[in-house]
Amino acid sequence: MALSVEDVLAVGIAQERNAASLYAEAALKTADEACGRLLEALSEMEVGHEQLLRRILKELPNCERSSPDQATDAYLRLSTLSTGPFLPFRIDPTTRLTGAESLEDVLHIAIAFEENAIILLNALKDIVPAEFGGDRLDALIDEEHGHKAMLHEQLAVTRTRQQLRGSTRKGLWSRLFGGK
């Protein structure tokens, strides 16, 4: 499998497009307003990331588009470095959302997307020359780390709410029926 820099950029573009679709779809399906707003904002940011990668691809001269050894090595590292499930970029992520997922499930899927994006962007940073856009990838990587942090924060809020609801119910049960 020999991939070019162009091929790996295409994977990045697809990853960002898929993340934007996932967040937009999840925002529509969540009943939690704050989380819905976060997911909508993330969707918009991912659209911006896709546009940036498209600009980098457009600016990349033909002679820089095909360094298959470096690009293939970078791409192969993607699946081995991933801490979460490596999500195939050719699969529409919205097909993963049936509407039966809990908010926690959706957040875990979103975090996996962000982790994959960080790995992919780091691989791209190694193979796209700075003068042709590689220098812009650091800011994008930082932004993806920020997305991941926001999602982890929302996950913590969601878990805390669930625990509070559970303890309130148990407390009410104890007060009403004595001790269970």
Q: Which domain holds residue 166?
A: 5-177
What CATH code is carried by the domain that includes residue 148? Answer: 1.20.1260.10
- Per-residue pLDDT tens digits of the chain, which is 180 residues long: 455 677 778 878 888 888 899 899 888 888 888 888 999 999 999 999 999 989 888 887 765 555 545 545 555 555 454 444 444 455 566 666 777 778 888 888 888 888 888 888 888 887 777 777 778 888 899 999 999 999 999 999 988 887 777 655 455 445 444 554
- CB neighbourhood size of 124 (10 A): 24
Neighbours of 28 (CB within 10 A): 13
Query: Phi and psi dihedrals of 32, rounded to 5?
Result: -80, 110
Helices (H), the chain: 5-29, 33-59, 62-65, 68-81, 103-127, 137-177
- Statement: the pTM of the whole predicted model exceeds 0.85: no
Count of domains for the chain = 1
